[in-house]
Amino acid sequence: MDRKVARPRRRLWLAAGIGAVVLGAGGAAAWLLPDAGTVAVRRGEVEIAEVRQEPFHDYIPVRAVVAPLTTVFVTAVEGGQVEQVIAQDGSAVAAGAPLARLANPQLRLAVTSREAEIAGRLGDVSGQELELQRAQADRDRELAAASYDLLKARRDLEKRQRLYDAGFESPAAIRSLADEAAYHASRVAALSSGNIREAAIGASQRSQMRQLAGRLSANLGVVTASLDALTVKAPLKGRLTNFDLQPGQTLKAGETVGQVDVEGAYKLTADFDEFYVSRVAPGQAAQADLGGRAVLLRVGRVLPQVSQGRFRVEFGFAGAPPAGLRRGQTLEVRLTLGATQPAVVLPNGAWLEGSGGAYAFVVRPDGRKADRRAIVVRRRNPQQVEVASGLRRGEKVVVSSYAGLEPYKHLILR
């Protein structure tokens, strides 16, 4: 006959205890583990700053380099091998001073051949001009002879005419002398007319020959100057830099071998982050620190080409450049972008690198958590960032680096 067997109470209590422990551990884990999109960070490892409303100083500090205001490059007009180096890098040179001499035997041979050719053509032109002069002289002599014959014929006619009038000469003799005088007169007229035409033609030919001779002489000067171009010369007075020629070095025509910097006139050049490319314009004021003394500057030229996230700006001195400047010297420059005005600001720091100024982690009033919030930032200087929207004065924000926090929306501050 079957009978009921009672389960021991001890086993029931054990099962209940285990269940309570499991439930308690699960609840604790649920309370301790962060929600999705949340990460815990140590409070001591983050920096927190308060949002303030204070004057915003709109400027950019930058390190600028002293550069010559005028620089002219030295080039080798003709190619060749460096035969002699006359000037040294860094020396002061005068305009036209020889810096180096090149050797180019092929050029010298070509110049000699060209000189001989031009000299031969000049000789031909001179010979043609001499022939024109001789032809003109022959025509002048022929006209002079015809004029003399006319004069003699007229004198004979005049004498015979007096004898004819006195009855001692026949009419036939008078007609013969009159015909001879008329012949010589027509001959003189023809020679005079022809001489005028030939003189005009000769003058035109001589003008053309003189022009040809002038061009040939100019070509001869250019050919001769090409040999002079084997001497590298300073284009103007100044300081010779980047000039490191060595004897035996081969240069190509048009190759740059150095530069001459005009001394006493300088500018400053500086590279800016592309963030400011729309805010820097010619004419803006700036100042440089020169041994504790402020020197006023003006933006002269902005080169908008961006290279590796930077663009270049040139500054000019508002007055005369200070004495003692040297090419390559660095100065601390402060460029003013706008007037100082009250604004809602945060400290400029590493937090901008991770967020790009698009968001910030705002600490809750209890200080235990920080929530990601979209913001808009505008102007920046080395200490401050102007916040246009998204934050209120008095709120606290995490301003340390956001590296690794991009995927998260909440921070637990422990």
Q: What is the CATH number of the domain that holds 276?
A: 2.40.30.170
Q: How far apart are CA 240 and CA 244, in angstroms?
A: 10
Q: For residue 245, what is the domain's CATH number? A: 2.40.50.100
Q: Return all residues near 33 (Cβ < 8 A) that are at least 6 apart.
A: none
- Number of domains forming the structure of the chain: 4
Q: Return d(Cα 10, Cα 378) in angstroms, integer.
A: 72
Domain at 157, CATH number: 1.20.120
| 374's tokens | 């979209």
- Tell me how far apart the alpha carbons of residues 347 and 399 are, in angstroms, rounded to a whole number: 7
- Please answer whether residues 125 and 212 qualify as being in contact, where contact means their C-beta atoms are separated by less than 8 angstroms: yes
Residue 377 lies in a domain: yes
Extract the tokens encoding 107.
């050029």
Residue 47 CB contacts under 8 Å (≥ 6 apart), including other chains: 349, 398, 399, 400
Q: Could you list the pLDDT tens digit for every one of the 414 residues in the chain?
A: 455 554 555 554 555 555 555 455 444 444 444 566 899 998 888 899 999 999 998 888 899 999 888 889 999 888 888 899 999 988 899 999 999 998 888 777 777 777 677 677 777 777 777 777 787 788 788 878 888 888 888 888 788 788 777 777 778 777 887 888 888 888 888 878 777 777 777 677 777 777 777 776 777 667 677 778 888 999 989 889 889 889 988 889 889 999 998 887 889 999 998 888 888 999 999 999 888 888 899 999 999 889 898 999 999 998 888 888 888 889 999 998 888 889 999 998 888 887 888 999 999 999 899 999 999 998 888 889 999 999 999 999 999 998 888 889 999 998
Alpha carbon 79 to chain centroid distance? 24
Q: Are residues 200 and 255 in the same domain?
A: no
Q: Which helix (H) or strand (E) holds 83?
A: strand 80-85
